[in-house]
Chains A and B, each alone.
Chain A
């Protein structure tokens, strides 16, 4: 059994009078049971505070937290049956790995639910799940960072919580270990089917693991949607530039029909793209989001954008060209195959835009 969480206009300030800066400023979110949700944003965006309020480690200044429709805003942390995986692992240094994992099964509320033999069996079952059964007798300081994080995960999961909270759990691990742990987490989420609520500032991590991402900034949720929606159809310029490396050029909505929209880019060139943003009115100034992978070199002609090469960077897998578009429209990046003849600085080029991937930003 799993449960979902609903946040209703959740707010938090650390200033006692409720007048200062809001760490979390009106978060509304519905997190479905069994989902893997990520709160993504730079440090200070309120993602960790939101998570800690869900856990009960912080008290909201106002707003509500519902679990399966029941208000749990004032429920004590010890009764919430949600387990948190901390960034610094928070393993009990005086206990062995086995004792750490068993801790949650020995608390008063669990009394009588498991016999000592069952506790042992369960502990080993979850140590197996995270591949650490051989290290049961060790103390935390004898483990590597990745092992510590897996103990902390086993300790959280062993009590069979319906919701598991993660506060930047991979933040202190190196890049390769992080990749391995990401795959582990996806596997464990799939095997156990619990609701995972995950906090990170790493967008690759968020994209790779989550079923939905909430992009946060300044205590507010900028956009909440699937990784694909967030990447392809960002709600605003902030999300577009935070996720991936989108370049946004100035454009004007010239016209729209059933087949698509015509945009004037900069002060001159026109291109046609598929309709993707109903909020953009004809005549309105908009931002046109162009990602490097959606652009390609083309012979100059209709529906291409002219520009000239400003810089080229050899990346091994591809050559990255920085192209300044004609008519002061802005700069875009483009990836070209390495076996094509190299273009010099200042070379005039024409770019084809994938009409289904270019995205119109109103805000």
Chain B
């Protein structure tokens, strides 16, 4: 009897011990979970909530009046020029992404397959990222001096004799905006394409050559398909950065090349229409989420498993 009782007792004690251990565990868990949750709340959840709150209200006599109206969202889609500006920004972003990929691919390819010396490889790598040590503004200004009527490009054209007077089509239009953005964001495309190309083992190319394949076939059938996720990832980065840019349109863009960030800045700083700016922001964030999900899916879909 006694032994049975002691067993029961000890079992009960054990249960208590387990429970208290669990409680301790939970407390410790809280300690680890709290900081990220707090960070997420302060920097993400609350700002987004504020954005939503603002977008549902309106401004009267320069004062914000809270509300629950979808008017601002309707304005984004119906009143000129908001939807048009969003679409134009997307077009500029897309062009930047495409041009960056086109410019970046050969460089990444060269870096991955033709540079054997690791020191030379590092040097090129450095040259690709070194422009990022200079301020974005400086680089945008640099393009102004290259493309302007007194700029290097025009001087060169006149010297060569292709034209008698400065050509004005280079600057203050969509072309110059895309050109500048492409120049500035191409390093991101280079790095992401290079990272993907680097994964391709040399033996794959040797095997293809051994089977009698020429350079183009190896590129089209093996290298290009494997590198698609790198191109997609790079394009997402360049697209997003270009889409939300507001410096290039101001410095090198013309009156026609106003982009969505410029509009938002104007609504905030000049027109004091915070609710509409918030609504545009939310529309863009939603579009961004859709885009990133789609590209994530595409990246996953095209990713080659080795």
Contact = CB atoms under 8 A, between A and B. Distances in A.
Interface of A: 55-57, 77-84, 86, 88, 90-95, 103-104, 107-110, 139, 141, 155, 159
Given A84-B210, A104-B211, A141-B306, A94 B201 contact: no
B204 A92 contact: yes
A81 to B, nearest CB: 8
Contacts of A55: 210
A251 B226 CA distance: 63
A107 B304 contact: no
Interface string B189-212: 000000000000101101111111
Contacts of A107: 211-214, 217
B214 A139 contact: no
Contacts of B214: 78, 107-108
Nearest to B207: A90
A56 B211 CA distance: 12
B306 A78 contact: no
Contacts of A95: 221
Contact of B201 (A57, A78, A90, A110): A90
Interface of B: 201, 203-204, 206-214, 217, 221-222, 225-226, 304-306
A141 to B, nearest CB: 4
Given A103-B221, A139-B305, A141-B305, A90 B204 contact: yes
Given A78-B213, A93-B304, 18 more contacts: A56-B210, A84-B210, A86-B207, A88-B201, A88-B203, A90-B203, A92-B221, A94-B225, A95-B221, A103-B213, A104-B211, A107-B214, A108-B213, A109-B212, A139-B305, A141-B305, A141-B306, A155-B211
B210 A92 contact: no
A83 B206 CA distance: 11
Contacts of B212: 78-79, 81, 104, 107-110, 159
Q: Name the prevailing secondary structure of the B interface residues.
A: helix
Nearest to B199: A93
Nearest to B200: A93
16 contacts: A57-B206, A57-B210, A77-B209, A83-B210, A84-B207, A86-B206, A92-B221, A92-B222, A93-B204, A93-B305, A94-B222, A103-B213, A104-B211, A110-B212, A155-B211, A159-B212
Nearest to B302: A94
Nearest to B205: A90
Contacts of A86: 203, 206-207
A79 B222 CA distance: 20
A69 B271 CA distance: 87
Contacts of B304: 93-94
A141 B211 CA distance: 21
A107 B210 CA distance: 11
A228 B212 CA distance: 37
B154 to A, nearest CB: 46
A78 B214 CA distance: 7
A141 B305 CA distance: 6
A155 B210 CA distance: 11
A151 to B, nearest CB: 12
Contacts of A104: 211-212
A84 B127 CA distance: 39
Contacts of A91: 207
A238 B32 CA distance: 63
A81 B211 CA distance: 8
